[in-house]
Structure 1
Amino acid sequence: MIVKNTYGTSVAFTTKMFGVIPKDEFSGSALQRKKQDPKEEKTNVKIKKKNSEGKKLCSLSKRSKQKIRKKITCFARCYKRLSFVTLTFLNKVDDEQAIIILRKFLDNVKKRSTDFQYVWVAERQEKNTEFIGNIHFHIITNKYWKIEKWWNYWLDLQRKNGIKPRDENFKPSSAFDVRQLNSSNIRSIASYVTKYVTKNNEKFKCQVWNCSRGVSELYTDFYTTTEFTDQFKRLNAVIKEFEVKDHGKRPFLNVKMINLNRQTLPFYKRLDDKNKALK
């Protein structure tokens, strides 16, 4: 049996079923992607353009949600403090325009910051009755923000790109909201991921999420034998265990959900060390 592990989840499978033993101990990093052939890359670009012209709606798939959850958790393990930023708009904005403004904002932050890493996710506004359904963005980042400076820049950037407030003097502080996250508290990070990512089923006419290169390159999983998960059993740290069966009702995956605490987190040190070495 081979076990694929990430923080809080271990999935055991037989190599007989899948026929391949992983060559590398770690996986999930963009560094492991094969370089695309130029001809293939051009083909993919054409497909993307066609989808864009056809107004294809985008949403977070189950696989994307799992990937985001893993990336954010690994991101949090590399930095002592993170910030949770919410960017909202001064007026009604369509998805395509909003994503252009967001990219301009992030590009400017990159130029003026050292080691700026982030993950952002799009969401629909529900509480604002004036702009219900308006897109806004949540960003988890390692940056310390000078709020007055960046709040004003975010508002000015909107105005320069045609998003005018209803009232000329309208400068809502909520348009640039920053909360500090304690990355050592894995539960608090998980609560943000659950609230703003895993429950997000909205559809958009633009990209739904993205991350910086540094986050993309983080490894999210590592392979072990079942001896690794046996340690959690001895600590009574397996909070849930279930099997996944095929169409013939034969089990082919065994999934264990692990309680992350002071006792269990040290077992993930090999993943911590692998990612911190990338910084």
Structure 2
Amino acid sequence: MIVKNTYGSSVAFSVKQFGRIPKNEFTGSALDRKKQEPKKDTKAKKKESKDKGRTERSLSRRSKQKIRKKITCFARCYKRLSFVTLTFLNKVSDEQAVNLLRKFVDNAKKRSDDFQYVWVAERQTKNDIFEGNVHFHMITNKYWKIDKWWNYWIDLQLKNGIEPRDKDYKPSSAFDVKQLNSNNIRSIASYVTKYVTKNDAKFKCQVWNCSKRVSELYTDFYTTEEYTDQFIRMGAILKEKEIKDHNNRTFLKLKMIDLNRNTLPLYKRLDDKNINALKK
């Protein structure tokens, strides 16, 4: 059997059942996507774009898994990360909100040598005045000067027609920053679970995005079952599940692995692959 691994989980699958052996040891990077030729029919493309704008979007199960993996790999490449929450002074449409977020991100890029990020949209549920208003959570590798960027985020909203509900309403929570220790993988996982995994809201805008460098991080690598045997010997298997075919033969094995100071060194090959990729 061939095993597909990422931080905290390993899936062993039957090559005979699935019919092919992976060509590359590492997968999950945007670098491996096949480039598609641009479509000549621009009218059809514009119509498709408009249709997408009308359709509500949400995070699929696959997207949640992808975000979880990208954030974990991102955290393994930087010692410290920041968790930023951006909220609005008044009620905004989803489209207006995401356009302001893009302007904010573009400005941060211009003022940073190496600005990497992952952002996710979320609905406000505990705000009675702006109930359902979109806001954004963003994990970045940037150190933020709070006063400077808080003022910029407020001014950006004012310049784009978002007036506060009261004349002097400038909440400190509009730009909220928490520092994350990337060595504490459980801390990172808790944020991912809270703001990504449980996020089932629908939006009339893009639901998540990440910087180019983060999209290029590899999230998975292939091994034989000898690799996962190491976790068994360490007593690090939290949960195990087997899926069998109609002949009662196992063709899929799932192992959930405890991430700690003993098990994390076994992911060094993935750490090194991504750290080297970021240097290019």
Shorter-normalised TM range: over 0.9
- Counterpart mapping for 1:1-279 below 5 A: 1-39=1-39, 45-46=45-46, 48-53=48-53, 55-245=54-244, 251-279=250-278
Report the alpha carbon displacement of residue 38 of structure 1 after superposing the two structures with TM.
Answer: 1.6
Q: Deviations over 1:182-239 (max 9, x none)?
A: 0000000000000000000000000100000010000000000000000000011001
Sort the Cα spacing of 1:153 and 1:211 in 2 relative to 1 into closer, same or farther, 3 A.
same
* Alpha-carbon separation, structure 2, partners of 1:161 and 1:253: 52
Report the alpha carbon displacement of residue 162 of structure 1 after superposing the two structures with TM.
Answer: 1.0
Amino acid at match of 1:187: R
Amino acid at match of 1:203: K
Sort the Cα spacing of 1:188 and 1:244 in 2 relative to 1 into closer, same or farther, 3 A.
same
Report the alpha carbon displacement of residue 247 of structure 1 after superposing the two structures with TM.
Answer: 7.9
How many residues of Structure 1 are paired with residues of Structure 2 in the alignment? 278
TM-score by length of 1: 0.96
TM-score by length of 2: 0.95
Structure 2 alignment gaps of length 5 or more: none
Sort the Cα spacing of 1:148 and 1:225 in 2 relative to 1 into closer, same or farther, 3 A.
same
* Alpha-carbon separation, structure 2, partners of 1:155 and 1:206: 21
Report the alpha carbon displacement of residue 59 of structure 1 after superposing the two structures with TM.
Answer: 0.2
* Alpha-carbon separation, structure 1, partners of 2:244 and 2:151: 54
* Alpha-carbon separation, structure 1, partners of 2:32 and 2:44: 19
Report the alpha carbon displacement of residue 46 of structure 1 after superposing the two structures with TM.
Answer: 4.1
How well do the aligned residues superpose, as a CA RMSD in angstroms? Answer: 1.7
* Alpha-carbon separation, structure 2, partners of 1:121 and 1:44: 29
Q: Deviations over 1:20-45 (max 9, x none)?
A: 11111000000001111122796984
* Alpha-carbon separation, structure 2, partners of 1:73 and 1:49: 31
* Alpha-carbon separation, structure 1, partners of 2:214 and 2:147: 27
Report the alpha carbon displacement of residue 51 of structure 1 after superposing the two structures with TM.
Answer: 2.2
Q: Deviations over 1:150-198 (max 9, x none)?
A: 0000001011111100122111000000000000000000000000000
